[in-house]
């Protein structure tokens, strides 16, 4: 998730104002997200679908296709159909809707078609992954909270450690304010989350369900790395099209892509891993039960 990790002294006042906006927005958005994640079902799917449509719209705006209404509407309808299929627990149908949506967006997009198609793929991957992780009735909520916390602390740790220490830049050509210190700080914070999950594991008396510390640390490390790669990927896309923020929807954060870039990468990785271990209806269990 995009964040200024090193701010020049001359911009100190603006940085403090921006930080305050970030905190206020987080205090509103984080509890709402957790509450809807806990509720699951249609409430969570609705939130995820609206966010995915927002991601798709912002992507089109970044790549200069935001005024192509037939591309925008077609993609949004396809994302809604995917959501209906997921709500009915028809993962196969959601994948078919995804393929048809990709084809429709590609056919209707002006040349070059690659960027609008990539935007739909980005949004639908986030949508399907976010729903699949939560779909597991037993471990879904815990798995989703684990992913969310990893992404959040990676972002927060990177922000404060990067600002406090500074030092060499991580990838100055793409994200000139991100530092290696911030990346390491965010990574370390994710390992702390894994340690807390292990310490408060309610299944310690059951060897079959008990969390395994070393594997949980590896999972946290992978998700944290994915989150940071997702952040850099979004920065690279914006840099390609000379765009600073994906939008100004969220005070202090920019747009949905600016806020969710790390989460998209992390939750997609989590969904793939959980799917391989637990199947389509056991993604959460595949992530958390070893």
**pLDDT tens-digit map of 151-183:** 999 999 998 898 888 888 888 888 888 899 999
Residue 135: what pLDDT? 94
At residue 12, the pLDDT reads 61
Q: pLDDT at residue 9 above 60? A: no
Residue with the larger pLDDT of the pair 23 and 142: 142
Quick one: average pLDDT of 39-44? 95
User: Residue 51: its pLDDT value, please?
Assistant: 97
Comparison of pLDDT for 267 and 25, the residue scoring more: 267
Distance, in Å, from the CA atom of 189 to the CA atom of 160, rounded to the nearest integer, reads 11
- Which pLDDT does position 170 carry in this prediction? 86
CA distance 163 to 143: 30
Q: ∠ CA(169), CA(170), CA(174), 5° rounding?
A: 95
Kindly state the DSSP code that residue 250 receives in the 8-state scheme: B
Confidence of residue 79 (pLDDT cuts 50, 70, 90): very high
Would you state the pLDDT for residue 167? 83
């Amino acid at each position: 998730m995009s964040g200024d990790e090193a701010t020049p002294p001359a911009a100190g006042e603006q940085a403090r104002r921006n930080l305050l906006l970030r905190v206020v927005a987080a205090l509103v958005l984080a509890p709402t997200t957790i509450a809807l994640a806990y509720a699951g079902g249609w409430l969570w799917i609705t939130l995820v679908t609206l966010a995915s449509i927002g991601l798709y719209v912002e992507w089109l705006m970044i790549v200069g296709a935001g005024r192509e209404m037939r591309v925008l509407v077609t993609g949004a309808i396809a994302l809604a159909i995917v959501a209906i299929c997921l709500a009915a627990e028809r993962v196969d149908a959601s994948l078919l809707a995804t393929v048809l949506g990709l084809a429709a967006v590609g056919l209707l997009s002006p040349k070059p078609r690659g960027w609008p198609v990539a935007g739909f793929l980005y949004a639908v991957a986030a949508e399907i992954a976010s729903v699949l992780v939560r779909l597991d009735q037993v471990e879904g909520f815990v798995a989703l909270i684990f992913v969310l916390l990893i992404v959040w602390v990676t972002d927060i740790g990177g922000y404060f450690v990067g600002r406090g220490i500074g030092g060499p830049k991580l990838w100055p050509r793409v994200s000139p304010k991100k530092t290696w210190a911030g990346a390491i700080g965010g990574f370390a914070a994710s390992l702390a989350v894994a340690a807390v999950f292990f310490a408060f594991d309610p299944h310690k008396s059951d060897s079959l369900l008990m969390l395994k510390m070393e594997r949980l640390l590896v999972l946290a490390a992978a998700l944290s790395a994915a989150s940071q790669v997702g952040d850099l990927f979004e920065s690279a896309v914006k840099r390609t099209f000379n765009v600073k923020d994906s939008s100004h929807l969220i005070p202090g954060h920019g747009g949905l892509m600016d806020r969710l870039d790390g989460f998209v990468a992390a939750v997609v990785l989590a969904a793939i891993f959980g799917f391989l271990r637990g199947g389509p209806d056991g993604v959460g269990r595949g992530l958390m039960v070893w």
